[in-house]
């Protein structure tokens, strides 16, 4: 994610670089046509979906050759890379996990490609390296995806991903010796691990092994839940639950803190609604465990997130009959809705997360897209609000029910992620790990504004800039958003944003519909047939920044990744005159075929499907970026970014969009694609690759903005 823009050396649109744009080789257009509900749709670049073909490989090489030649010619590129290297060089920590008095915490000394996992005995004990992913590959492209200590803190279950892929391999390490056990599990995706209370094994989910050559593109279905006992081969893992009659169902297994039950979350795609099944581990001795799994919440009518249990009484955070969220108690003996007990009622703000620590519910609410942290006794009685250091975001609540301390991360646009510790006995808060970043936050400010979208909806937006800037339209501005999948875009710190703020730039982040900032109603207002609301919200944010003279169209860049890449692709095709620069990253660009690759089918609940009905086809085609490019249009300067190992949003989306854009644009401004190698959708990307890509993206944006005057 790149929510920033940086200015070191400034250029204008009169730059010779723009007068000498080199076009990539023309992409071969085939005569392929598909028919959807009687409508014929051309797909001339269908052949680019085959990432294993020699022709596609040659196309990638030719595109990168032209793109990187252009980027190497930008004078800002090297100063930006140097400044980003300086800014990234600060110590970073995760919230610690505590198991039986032993603490596990990730630390990055600044420029390490991957963070290192440390273990220490006691809060003040000397940390020692337990696992350093940087030693597992020469280029830093092997990342740790899962880290789960056993209940007694003597073993570590960990997951590894190579080259940015969603595929994981699980291994187990002895904490005392630092040596790996023989256990090695493969073909795991979208799964964590949960230990049994005795530490003899863990539950996890996996998919069938894909056919040769299809690991990065084939659809992922038929996930199954297994139990792995330490010291045995994966082939002997015990099948816990499967549903061959429901190939689109996925499963997560979580052992309750008392070790008595396995809570099985049953999900279908990215639908926020889910089912919850339960397995009593004390009586789970029969050969066919699938028959012993008991459906507890099986109506698929809402989202249910397991929080804790008191024996057979289970606590859930849910949006059932409460679009902003509430906490309920469900008794296994009387699971019907009529017997549910409401513990914490729905409030005026969205309930973002809940943990049980120190025998309290710790509830993270969102108030106008910023965190509010409140405590409740297990009875539901309010027990006070925790004071936060600024307007910002709480994340990564860490602790167990019997602990007397809670750890959490706090961050904001100008507040580097700091780990705080709350002492339940002393009722006091203190900073446990505070980073030191080479910039002066007192020179800048974040303000929150509210603007009206096309249909009159009130939308919040954070604007971060130097204090006292003149609102004269002169400021280069980056507008970044996401808008989908019930995911909130909250205040957060990014070292890559600071170089821009130091030069007087503006960073704007609106909270579009489709997210969870105001609960489920806000999400539903930006999905399926209402997806255009998201694009209208983004366009209205741009118009607000222009009308209020923060910036002007010739100095405005838009950026987003994944679903946010779709957002950028949609608005640049709907309003190309509104933006100087478009930066769609790993975007979903072909809305007619997204569901045919890897986990794309899981997004149908959010987007719909062109195959399902003529109405859904028309809705998707109306905003699909690939299908709304118009020949002879002066599109914003565009740098599409993707990666060759992205098996979440396969790179074919970006390949086809870039080819179509290059054929359609008037080439008054550049239209390039940057294809990273040995990288994926973004998670686990080495710091070195992050810095290189960010320098390229920011240099590209600056070179294609009409900057009237140097920024002091």
Q: Mind listing the pLDDT tens digit for each residue in 188-211?
A: 999 999 999 999 999 999 999 999
Q: Residues 35, 37, 40, 45: what is their CA dihedral angle, to the nearest 10 degrees?
A: -50
Residue 411, both tokens: 């961050």
| DSSP character at residue 677 | S
685 band by pLDDT with thresholds 50, 70 and 90: confident
pLDDT at site 12: 35
With a cut of 70, say whether residue 709 has pLDDT above it: no
Mean pLDDT value across residues 609-617: 98
Q: Nearest Cα to 630, choosing from 562, 695, 575, 552?
A: 575
Contact 90, 495 (CB under 8 A): yes
- The secondary structure element, H or E, covering residue 618 is helix 614-623
| DSSP character at residue 72 | H
In a domain, 479, yes or no: yes
pLDDT at site 17: 47
Q: Output the domain CATH number for residue 486.
A: 3.40.50.1820
Q: Nearest Cα to 340, choosing from 307, 315, 303?
A: 315
Mean pLDDT value across residues 405-413: 97
pLDDT at site 8: 27
In a domain, 527, yes or no: yes
Q: Nearest Cα to 117, choosing from 140, 85, 94?
A: 94
With a cut of 90, say whether residue 496 has pLDDT above it: no
pLDDT at site 217: 86
pLDDT at site 4: 21
pLDDT at site 414: 95
With a cut of 60, say whether residue 18 has pLDDT above it: no
19 band by pLDDT with thresholds 50, 70 and 90: very low
In a domain, 377, yes or no: no
In a domain, 458, yes or no: yes
Residue 89, both tokens: 């060089």
Q: Helix count (H) and strand count (E) of the chain?
A: 11, 39
| DSSP character at residue 711 | -
With a cut of 90, say whether residue 503 has pLDDT above it: no
Within 13 Å and on the Cβ side, how many CA atoms surround 243? 13
Contact 367, 361 (CB under 8 A): no
Domain that holds residue 479: 16-22+439-703
Can you tell me which residue has the tokens 């630092």? 178
pLDDT tens string 567-590: 999 999 999 999 999 999 999 999
Contact 187, 177 (CB under 8 A): no
In a domain, 217, yes or no: no
DSSP codes, 470-524:
--SS---EEEE---BTTB-------HHHHHHHHTT-EEEEE--TTSSTT-HHHHH
pLDDT tens string 66-110: 999 999 999 999 999 999 999 999 999 999 999 999 999 999 999
In a domain, 551, yes or no: yes
Residue 186, both tokens: 């493969």
pLDDT tens string 542-552: 999 999 999 99
500 band by pLDDT with thresholds 50, 70 and 90: confident
pLDDT at site 706: 87
Lowest mean pLDDT among 3-7, 366-370, 642-646: 3-7
Mean pLDDT value across residues 372-394: 95
pLDDT averaged over every residue in the chain: 93
pLDDT at site 646: 78
pLDDT at site 420: 97
Give the catalytic positions in this structure: 562, 681
Report how far residue 322's alpha carbon sits from residue 318's, in angstroms, rounded to the nearest whole number: 7
In a domain, 661, yes or no: yes
User: CA gyration radius for the chain?
Assistant: 25
With a cut of 90, say whether residue 359 has pLDDT above it: yes
Sign of the dihedral through C-alpha 242, 246, 252, 257: negative
Report how far residue 392's alpha carbon sits from residue 371's, in angstroms, rounded to the nearest whole number: 6
Q: Nearest Cα to 672, choosing from 17, 46, 5, 166?
A: 17
Distances from the Cα of 683 to the Cα of 94, 686, 687, angstroms: 15, 9, 11
Query: Number of structural domains, the chain?
Result: 1
With a cut of 50, say whether residue 469 has pLDDT above it: yes
Mean pLDDT value across residues 419-440: 94
pLDDT at site 316: 98
290 band by pLDDT with thresholds 50, 70 and 90: low
pLDDT at site 287: 62
pLDDT at site 11: 33
Mean pLDDT value across residues 370-374: 97
* Strand bridging mode 477-480 / 556-561: parallel
Report how far residue 198's alpha carbon sits from residue 201's, in angstroms, rounded to the nearest whole number: 8
| DSSP character at residue 334 | B
At residue 304, φ and ψ (nearest 5 deg) are: -130, 120
With a cut of 90, say whether residue 254 has pLDDT above it: yes
Report how far residue 425's alpha carbon sits from residue 459's, in angstroms, rounded to the nearest whole number: 41
pLDDT at site 551: 97
644 band by pLDDT with thresholds 50, 70 and 90: confident
pLDDT at site 530: 98
Report how far residue 282's alpha carbon sits from residue 259's, in angstroms, rounded to the nearest whole number: 9
pLDDT at site 710: 45
With a cut of 90, say whether residue 289 has pLDDT above it: no
Q: 438: burial class by Cβ within 10 Å (0-12, 13-18, 19+)?
A: exposed
Lowest mean pLDDT among 94-108, 280-294, 601-615, 657-671: 280-294
288 band by pLDDT with thresholds 50, 70 and 90: low
In a domain, 649, yes or no: yes
Mean pLDDT value across residues 39-59: 96
Sheet of strand 428-433: strand arrangement: 393-398, 405-412, 415-423, 428-433
pLDDT at site 708: 62
With a cut of 60, say whether residue 15 has pLDDT above it: no
CB burial of 397-433 (b: ≥16 within 10 Å; e: otherwise) equals bbbbbeeebbbbbbbbbbbbbbbbbbebeeeebeebb
499 band by pLDDT with thresholds 50, 70 and 90: confident
Mean pLDDT value across residues 392-403: 95
């Amino acid at each position: 994610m790149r929510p920033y823009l940086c200015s070191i050396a400034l250029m204008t649109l009169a730059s010779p670089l723009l007068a000498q744009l080199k076009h990539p080789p023309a992409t071969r257009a085939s005569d392929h046509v598909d028919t959807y509900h009687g409508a014929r749709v051309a797909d001339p670049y269908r052949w680019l979906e085959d990432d294993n073909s020699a022709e596609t490989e040659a196309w990638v090489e030719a595109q990168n050759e032209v793109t990187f030649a252009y980027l190497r010619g930008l004078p800002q590129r090297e100063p930006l890379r140097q400044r980003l290297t300086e800014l990234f060089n600060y110590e970073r920590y995760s919230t610690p996990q505590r198991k039986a008095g032993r603490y596990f915490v990730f630390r990055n000394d600044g420029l390490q490609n991957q963070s290192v996992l440390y273990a220490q005995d006691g809060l003040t004990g000397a940390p020692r390296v337990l696992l350093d992913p940087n030693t597992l590959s020469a280029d830093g492209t092997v990342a740790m995806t899962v880290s789960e200590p056993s209940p007694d803190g003597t073993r570590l279950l960990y997951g590894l991903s190579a080259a940015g892929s969603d595929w994981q391999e699980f291994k187990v390490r002895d904490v005392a010796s630092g040596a790996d056990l023989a256990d090695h599990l493969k073909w795991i995706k979208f799964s964590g691990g949960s230990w049994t209370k005795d530490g003899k094994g863990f539950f996890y989910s996996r998919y069938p092994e894909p056919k040769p050559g299809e690991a990065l593109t084939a659809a992922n279905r038929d996930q199954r839940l297994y139990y792995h006992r330490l010291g045995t081969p994966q082939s002997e893992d015990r099948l816990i639950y499967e549903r061959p009659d429901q190939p689109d169902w996925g499963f997560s297994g979580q052992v309750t803190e008392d070790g008595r039950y396995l809570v099985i979350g049953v999900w279908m795609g990215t639908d926020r609604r889910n089912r919850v099944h339960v397995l009593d581990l004390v009586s789970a001795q029969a050969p066919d465990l699938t028959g012993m799994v008991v459906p507890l919440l099986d109506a698929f009518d809402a989202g249910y997130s397991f929080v804790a249990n008191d024996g057979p009484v289970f606590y859930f955070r849910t949006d059932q009959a409460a679009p902003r969220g509430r906490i309920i108690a469900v008794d296994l003996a009387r699971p019907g809705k009529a017997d549910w007990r409401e513990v914490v009622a729905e409030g005026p703000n969205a309930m973002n997360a809940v943990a049980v620590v120190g025998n309290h519910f710790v509830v993270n609410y969102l108030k106008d897209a910023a965190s509010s942290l409140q405590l409740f006794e297990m009875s539901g009685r309010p027990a006070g609000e925790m004071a936060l250091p600024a307007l910002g975001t709480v994340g990564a609540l860490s602790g167990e029910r019997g602990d007397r301390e809670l750890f959490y991360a706090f961050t904001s646009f100008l507040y580097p992620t700091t780990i705080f510790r709350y002492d339940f006995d002393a009722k006091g808060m203190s900073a446990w790990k505070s980073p030191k970043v080479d910039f002066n936050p007192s020179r800048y400010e974040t303000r929150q504004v509210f603007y009206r979208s096309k249909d009159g909806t009130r939308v919040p937006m954070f604007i971060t800039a130097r204090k006292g800037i003149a609102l004269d339209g002169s400021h280069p501005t980056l507008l970044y958003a996401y808008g989908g999948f019930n995911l909130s875009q909250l205040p957060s710190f990014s070292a890559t944003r600071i170089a821009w703020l130091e030069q007087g730039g503006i960073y704007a982040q609106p909270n579009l519909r489709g997210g969870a900032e105001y609960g489920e109603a806000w999400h539903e207002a930006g999905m399926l047939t209402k997806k255009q609301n998201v694009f209208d919200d983004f366009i209205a944010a741009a118009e607000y920044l222009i009308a209020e003279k923060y910036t002007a169209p010739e100095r405005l860049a838009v950026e987003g990744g994944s679903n946010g890449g779709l957002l950028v692709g949609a608005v640049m095709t709907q309003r190309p005159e509104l933006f100087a620069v478009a930066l769609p990253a790993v975007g979903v660009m072909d809305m007619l075929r997204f569901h045919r690759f890897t986990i794309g089918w899981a997004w149908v609940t959010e987007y719909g499907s062109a195959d399902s009905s003529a109405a859904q086809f028309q809705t998707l085609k109306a905003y699909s970026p690939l299908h709304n490019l118009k020949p002879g249009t002066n599109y914003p300067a565009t740098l599409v970014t993707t990666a060759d190992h992205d098996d979440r949003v396969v790179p074919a989306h970006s390949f086809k969009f870039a080819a179509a854009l290059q054929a359609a644009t008037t080439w008054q401004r550049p239209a390039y694609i940057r294809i990273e190698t040995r990288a994926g959708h973004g998670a686990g990307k080495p710091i070195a690759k992050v810095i290189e890509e960010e320098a390229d993206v920011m240099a590209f944006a600056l070179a294609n903005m009409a900057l009237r005057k140097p920024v002091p």
